[in-house]
Chains A and B, each alone.
Chain A
Amino acid sequence: MRILNVLIIVLAAALLSSCASMSYNRSIKQTGSIVDYLYPDAKSAPAMTPTVTRLRPPVRVGIAFVPGAGWGNGLPETARMKLLERVRDSFSKHPYIGKIEIIPTQYMRARGGFTNLEQVARMFDVEVVALLSYDQVQFNDSNALSVLYWTIIGAYVVHGDQYDVQTMLDASVFDVQSRKLLFRAPGTSQVKGSASWAGFSEKSRAAQTEGYNAAVDQLVPNLQAELDNFRERIKHDANYQVENKEGYKGGGAMDWPGLALVALLAGLAWGLRRRE
């Protein structure tokens, strides 16, 4: 009888701990693909006709997350807005960027293509849109400590579950009218941690948000560097043209080249006077 009792307790403990460790998905994936959004039914590579992209500084920019494939995919909207605000604040100081509009995901239609992008750009009165695609994978595993979950208290105290959240954000900046990709920049992060059975859900959710935040931390300087490269590139690239915007403020500036020219003129005049 005593042996039977011991067997029952061991079996119950094994079942309880296995229930606890099996209650999570081994991996969770959140993804919003730029290709799925812009080219939903593409069977072959999109044909790009060579066109001149006209940029009229200060450029009006929209910034949005690419809509995910299914319901509840990705971050909650409030967290997305906070991330987009961080990106916006980093780029609002540039003279050639007029305003940066944050576009809520509700305005973006999954697999909407350029048609949806153009609608949104018209609605928010922007010329260029920065689309943030994302790919986050969370791996959940139990460690050796999870065996202590059978004690019930262990399920609340012992960190027997661990997570590994890997995030990649990619900002692709498109000119809406020409549908041309102007530049892109990535940001990645990895967040690892452990939690007790009871606190795992909350902690892993926080790790997801932390993963996105860390990826944005890396994305912002990368995007800044790509923006600087792009500014240099368009000076020599005939496919891009910077034009004046209607109703602009004009300034007549001689700048340093003008100053150098007049200095040369003064030098010539001085030489001439000396000779005479």
Chain B
Amino acid sequence: MNNLLEFDRHALLAGQWWRLWTGHLVHYTPQHALIDFAVVLAAAVIVVQLSATPAIGMRRLALALGLGAPFISLGMLLIAPGCLTYRGASGVAAMLMVMAGGALWPRATRSVRAALLLMAATLLAKIGAEAAGYAHGLSDLPADVVVAWQAHLLGVAAGAITFAARKPRLQLD
């Protein structure tokens, strides 16, 4: 089943478009899935809770997941040509973390904003370390799987786009 759902470059290019979404749902190990989904769940709850109403929050979340997941997958097709297969919700998790931070930002005091900036820098540093290969060995991914840092970067970009798109509406509020 996992093979049918994972991001598979050749299968995608052959027309199996569902993989743009489902690649983020399947994982390599239970621990891999547990950590990724825990981050997704926590960030999603923050996004919904900080929205004007839960209904608006849910709508935003559904829109972000519906558009963000294929955005990350298409980005992987473009910027990571060597990545033949991909599994994991961490790209989506990174997107939701940025969205959660973005939802906190307008209401935050100066000290909280400083903390948010520090966390954003930490997230970017983590991705940088993964790109440089320094995070290899820290990951709990299986033997033959390489950390797809590009997915995390694309997730951050997707979250930033969502944040930028949301800003004018907040000013109207």
Contacts and interface: CB of A to CB of B under 8 A. Distances in A.
| Interface-centre pick from A246, A252, A265 (highest chain B CB count, 10 A) | A252
B103 to A, nearest CB: 8
Contacts of B148: 250-252
A254 to B, nearest CB: 4
Contact of A251 (B101, B138, B147): B147
Interface in B125-151: 126, 132-134, 136-148, 150-151
A253 B119 contact: no
Interface string A239-276: 00111111111111111111101111110110111001
A246 B150 CA distance: 14
Contacts of B115: 264, 268
Contacts of A250: 7, 76, 80, 83-88, 145-148, 150-151
B82 A247 contact: yes
Contact of B136 (A242, A259, A266): A242
Given A253-B36, A259-B38, A245 B82 contact: yes
Contact of B39 (A58, A235, A262): A262
Contacts of A241: 132-133
Chain A contact residues: helix, strand, loop or mixed: mixed
Contacts of A252: 24, 36, 86-91, 93, 147-148, 151-152
Interface string B90-101: 110110010011
Number of contact residues on A: which range applies? 35 or more
Given A250-B148, A251-B28, A264-B119, A231 B91 contact: no
Contacts of B83: 244, 248-250
A251 B88 contact: yes
Nearest to B112: A268
Interface residues of B, number: 62
A264 B120 CA distance: 12
A250 B143 CA distance: 11
B107 A276 contact: yes
Given A96-B136, A269-B104, A251 B145 contact: yes
A256 B35 contact: yes
Contacts of B39: 254, 258-259, 262
Can you list the 10 inter-chain pairs with the closest CB atoms, starting with the nearest? A242-B133, A252-B88, A95-B143, A250-B148, A252-B90, A250-B83, A250-B86, A251-B145, A252-B151, A251-B141
Interface of A: 55, 57-58, 94-96, 98, 231, 235, 241-259, 261-266, 268-269, 271-273, 276
Interface of B: 7, 24, 27-28, 32, 35-36, 38-39, 42-43, 45-46, 49-50, 76, 80, 82-91, 93-94, 97, 100-101, 103-104, 107-108, 112, 115-116, 119, 122-123, 126, 132-134, 136-148, 150-152
